[in-house]
Amino acid sequence: MTSSPAPVLESAADSTRVVRTTRSRGEVLARLAQRNGALATLVVLVVAMAVVFPSFATAGNLSQIAIQSSFFAPLALGMTFVIFTGGIDLSVGSVYALGGVLAAWGSQYGPVVAVLLPLAGCGLIGLVQGTIISRTAIPAFIVTLAGLLFARGLLLILTDEGSTTYKVPADSAFLQLSRGTFLGLGWPVWITVVLFAAGVLVLRRTSYGSTLLAVGGQEDAAELMGLPVRRSKVIVYTVSGLLAGLAGALTASYTASGVTTLGVGLELTAISAVVLGGTLLTGGAGTVFGSLVGIVLLQVVANLINRLGLTNSNWQAVVNGVLLVAVAVGQVQLSRIQARSRPGDD
């Protein structure tokens, strides 16, 4: 401790003791890196690419990147919140595909149904998963794994074993959802921005956000504090389902059809984005904005790989894998540095 010794006290007011958490320079850097590493990488990458590839920094290209990210972003947002609680949702890829099919099928009844049906259906799946997870000791891993299989099965039923691809009617207003623009940016981008802004708000400015972090960080403490642990878990998985459904609907709107083979492995890409963004997989700490950065980063990297002539998406996968490891190792090292220099250990 760096404070000077205080005399015997008369009253609490006299005993004001300033506690400065002195940090070493290395520790400050470590903290900054952990919190903002992804953003820094993104900025550096974008700047570098703008310099090297003249066609990169065009409005067209950038908005393309934005749109591509925005189809996938809501899904990652849901995953972020699930991970805050220390859980995981392996079903989002299948639920995403399910959402797309429901949207495409529902679009024949009008744009409203096209949006509400996937939300309802996918949200329901999330609700069931959340209920099972919060009420039994079955690990989230297993429950959502089953959810993955279940959702894909449901998907096949709805499409006659994958043989039917529902098409969105060419004149449907639903198509505008993904194609229309506002101030030059597509609706999906705005939706993503709004969702993420809401996400930040929920995390920082609601007691629900605090509860989620408490559950992920120290669940027994949360229970003892009387926080609504069970309810918060149910909600978080329901929302994850909802957002996955929304993402699917957006994609269906864009491709004008409900493709059943989509989304395989998407949950793991979502997890990658979340980890890249700086959220701890163990739960209890994280950043909503970071996940957005993670998604965009993955998208930019994909763009880069394309431009390098390696149009094969497999290079993408390899790079993503390496990136994930690098970031995760970095995270572990950084938290070790921080743990080591925590004051009060003496």
Partner 1 sequence: MSTQTTTPEARVETSRPRRRLDAAWVARNGVYLALVVLVLLNVVITPYFVSASNLRLQLIQAAPVIIVALGMSLVIGTKGIDLGVGSVMALSAAIMPLYIGYGTLPAILIGVAAGLVTGFVSGTLVAKLGLQPIVATLAIFVGGRGLANVIGGQIKNLSDPGLVRLGSGSTLGVPNTVLVAALVFAVVWFVVRRTTFGRGVEAIGGNPRAAELAGLRRARILLIVYMVAGVLAALAGVLAAARSQASDPRTLGLLMELNAIAAVVIGGTPLTGGKVRVVGTVAGALLMQLLVSTLVAQDVPDSVAQMIQAGVIVVAVWVQLGRKRP
Partner 2 sequence: MTTTSPPPSATAERPTTPALQADGVTKRFAGVTALSDVSFSVQPGSIHALVGENGAGKSTLIKVLTGVHRPDEGRLLHQGVETSFGRAADAQDAGISTVYQEVNLVPLLSVARNVFLGREPRTRLGLVDVRRMEREAAEITRDLGVDVDVTGDLGRLGLGIQQMIALARAVSVDARVVIMDEPTSSLERREVDTLFTVARRLRDQGVGIVFVSHRLDELWQLCDAVTILRDGRVVHTGEMAPLTRRELISHMLGRDIDDVAAHGATGFGDAAAGVGSAPGADADADAAAGAGPESAGGASPAPEGALVGSGVGTTTATPALSADPVLSVSGLDARAALHDVSFDVRQGEVLGLAGLLGSGRSETVKAAYGALATTGGEVRVGGRPVRRNSIRASLAAGVALLSEDRKAEGIIPELSVRDNIVLAVMDRVSTFGVISDRKVDELVDTFVRRLGIKVSSPRQLVSQLSGGNQQKVLIARWLCTEPRVFLLDEPTRGIDVGAKREVQGLIDELASRGLGVVLISSESDELVEGSDRVVVLRDGRVSARLEGDDVTSSRLLAALVGDAAPEGGTS
Decide which of partner 1, partner 2, none touches 281; Cβ closer than 5 to 8 Å per partner kind. partner 1
Binder among 52, 201, 318, 322 for partner 2 (CB under 8 A):
201
Binding residues for partner 2, rule CB under 8 A, total 42
Residue 223 found at the interface with partner 2 (CB under 8 A): yes
Decide which of partner 1, partner 2, none touches 313; Cβ closer than 5 to 8 Å per partner kind. partner 1
* Among the listed residues 148, 63, 102, the one whose alpha carbon sits nearest the alpha carbon of residue 246: 102
Q: Residue 181 gets which letter from DSSP?
A: E
291 close to 80: Cβ distance less than 8 angstroms: yes
Decide which of partner 2, partner 1, none touches 18; Cβ closer than 5 to 8 Å per partner kind. partner 2
CB atoms within 10 A of CB 41: 19
Residue 94 found at the interface with partner 2 (CB under 8 A): no
Do you know the residue count of the chain?
A: 346
The least distance separating partner 1 from the CB of residue 88, rounded to whole angstroms, comes to 8
Sign for the pseudo-dihedral over CA of 83, 89, 92, 98 = negative
Site residues, partner 1 (CB under 8 A): 88, 132, 134-139, 141-143, 145-150, 152-157, 161-162, 264-265, 268-269, 271-272, 275, 281-282, 312-322, 324-325, 328-329, 332, 336
327 close to 34: Cβ distance less than 8 angstroms: no
**DSSP per-residue codes, 32-82:** HHHHHHHHHHHHHHHHHHHHH-TTTTSHHHHHHHHHHHHHHHHHHHHHHHH
Burial letters 244-254, b for 16+ CB under 10 A, else e = bbbbbbbbbbb
Binder among 63, 165, 218, 306 for partner 2 (CB under 8 A):
218
Decide which of partner 2, partner 1, none touches 225; Cβ closer than 5 to 8 Å per partner kind. partner 2
The least distance separating partner 2 from the CB of residue 340, rounded to whole angstroms, comes to 11
Burial of 325: CB neighbours in 10 Å, binned 0-12, 13-18, 19+: exposed
Query: Which residues, in sequence order, are CB contacts of 32 under 8 Å at separation 6+?
Result: none
For residues 270-289, which are near partner 2 according to CB under 8 A?
A: 280, 284-285
Q: Determine the interface stretch with partner 2 among 104-112, 131-139, 166-174, 202-210 (rule: CB under 8 A).
A: 202-210
Residue 2 found at the interface with partner 2 (CB under 8 A): no
238 close to 123: Cβ distance less than 8 angstroms: yes
Decide which of partner 2, partner 1, none touches 346; Cβ closer than 5 to 8 Å per partner kind. partner 2
Nearer of residues 91 and 287 to partner 2, judged by Cβ: 287
Rounded CA gap, 39 and 187, in Å?
A: 24
Residue 231 found at the interface with partner 2 (CB under 8 A): no
Nearer of residues 140 and 213 to partner 1, judged by Cβ: 140
**Tokens 């074993």 -> residue:** 161
Tokens for 104, please give them.
Answer: 């495409």
- Contact pattern for partner 2 over residues 46 through 85, marking x by CB under 8 A: ----------------------------------------
The least distance separating partner 2 from the CB of residue 36, rounded to whole angstroms, comes to 16
Query: Which residues, in sequence order, are CB contacts of 140 under 8 Å at separation 6+?
Result: 82, 87, 88, 89, 133
Decide which of partner 1, partner 2, none touches 214; Cβ closer than 5 to 8 Å per partner kind. partner 2
Binding site for partner 2 (CB under 8 A): 1, 5-6, 8-9, 11-19, 21, 201, 204-207, 210-211, 213-214, 217-218, 220-227, 280, 284-285, 342-346
